[in-house]
Chain A
Amino acid sequence: MNPFKQTLQNLNHKLDLPQPTKSRIILEIAADLDDLYQHYLSAGASEQEAIQQAADMVDLSDEALEQLVSVHQTAFQKLLDKISLQAQSMWERTVLMFVLVVIATFATHAMTTTQFFLEASKFVWGVAGIGVVAIGLSIYKFYAFYIKRTHHTRTLHSGLTTLILLAGFSILIGVMGNFTEVFLVQNKITFFAPFLIILLILSGLIPVLR
């Protein structure tokens, strides 16, 4: 067992940074802790003393932690820190809604005027609706990962199940729509079949009659 597990866990808990950055810092400190431990052992300290001295040596004060976090924070994160959590959440929701409304407006315009969509099955609208929700969720995830850069485990996992479920629903509606349309077309074919057969025979007979 790593004798510095507790020290590193405390550090992991205290460092408020995206997980990849945090992991790299902890990896760097862990290697130095090992060297310090060996150094104190070779200087004559007992195992327990060496562990304690090494841990004390890399003990990051609140000020040092703040400096470390500040170095790795993006300008955007620093700006967000100045805004209260409540205001931040409201601001994020408003921007997300605005982006979605803009996308939905353009998409609706394109879908209601393009011939392809005008002639499409009604099932397409179900798939399109799911698509809008998925796009909204994806924009939020993109914002959280690449702009806000929150890589906490909770943030990483949130919304992924919903995305998978939405994908499943969209496939389900698509397949259902496909079969329904085929069924409807088949019924039409069955209804018109005798007429089609007569038409085919007649078209074949025309050259013979001539």
Chain B
Amino acid sequence: MSRIDIPQLTKLFNESLILAVLFNEKKHGYQIALEIEQRSDGLFKLNHGTLYPILHKLEKEGHIKGVWKQEGPKRQRKYYNLTAKGRKYITGLSADWRTFMRQFYDIIDEVEK
């Protein structure tokens, strides 16, 4: 069953982007927002005000794990890792998005025919 719920579309969209950029390596909040922006050529801009509640929610749900690292004498950074649960979740979500988009294009494509 698809996890894509229309009223929750924006939330799921942001969650998917965050989990996807964490798929290969751990990153901190700033790097996550920057990578999403760069990889989408500036189309998806994730405001940090939106980013933190999602990151903390995903961490609480066990999809990601935050690890504090000392950077320099005065600075600490929180890096996020994708957990096994999160890896499974984003893999499923990715498939759901594909189905969702295919169905969307099936309807939209009518316009161009």
Decide yes or no: A72 and B49 within 8 Å by CB, A31-B28, A31-B76, A32-B29 being known contacts: no
Tally A-B pairs: CB < 8 A: 55
A96 at interface (Cβ–Cβ under 8 A)? no
In the complex the two chains form, is B52's CB within 8 Å of A57's CB? no
Say which residue of B30, B56, B76 sits within 8 Å of A35 (CB atoms). Answer: B30
Say which residue of B34, B57, B76 sits within 8 Å of A67 (CB atoms). Answer: B57
Interface residues of A in 1-42 (CB under 8 A from B): 24-25, 27-29, 31-32, 34-36, 39
Decide yes or no: A31 and B56 within 8 Å by CB, A36-B30, A58-B49, A59-B49 being known contacts: no
Chain B residue nearest to A35 (CB atoms) is B30
A32 to B78, CA, bound (A): 10
Chain B residue nearest to A59 (CB atoms) is B49
Interface residues of A in 142-174 (CB under 8 A from B): none
B10 at interface (Cβ–Cβ under 8 A)? no
B2 at interface (Cβ–Cβ under 8 A)? no
- How many chain-B residues does the 8 Å CB contact rule pick out? 18
Say which residue of A27, A58, A61 sits within 8 Å of B76 (CB atoms). Answer: A27
B56: chain A residues within 8 A (beta carbon)? 25, 68, 71-72
In the complex the two chains form, is B75's CB within 8 Å of A32's CB? no
B102 at interface (Cβ–Cβ under 8 A)? no
Query: Chain A interface mostly helix, strand, loop or mixed?
Result: helix
Decide yes or no: A29 and B52 within 8 Å by CB, A35-B30, A67-B57 being known contacts: yes
In the complex the two chains form, is A64's CB within 8 Å of B50's CB? yes
B88 at interface (Cβ–Cβ under 8 A)? no
B85 at interface (Cβ–Cβ under 8 A)? no
B60: chain A residues within 8 A (beta carbon)? 71-72
Q: Mind listing 7 A-B residue pairs with CB under 8 Å?
A: A25-B56, A28-B29, A31-B30, A32-B28, A57-B47, A57-B48, A68-B56
Binding site for A on B (CB under 8 A): 28-30, 34, 47-50, 52-53, 56-57, 60, 71, 75-78
Known: A27-B76, A29-B48. 11 other contacts (CB 8 A): A25-B52, A25-B56, A28-B77, A32-B48, A39-B34, A57-B47, A57-B49, A64-B49, A64-B52, A71-B60, A72-B60
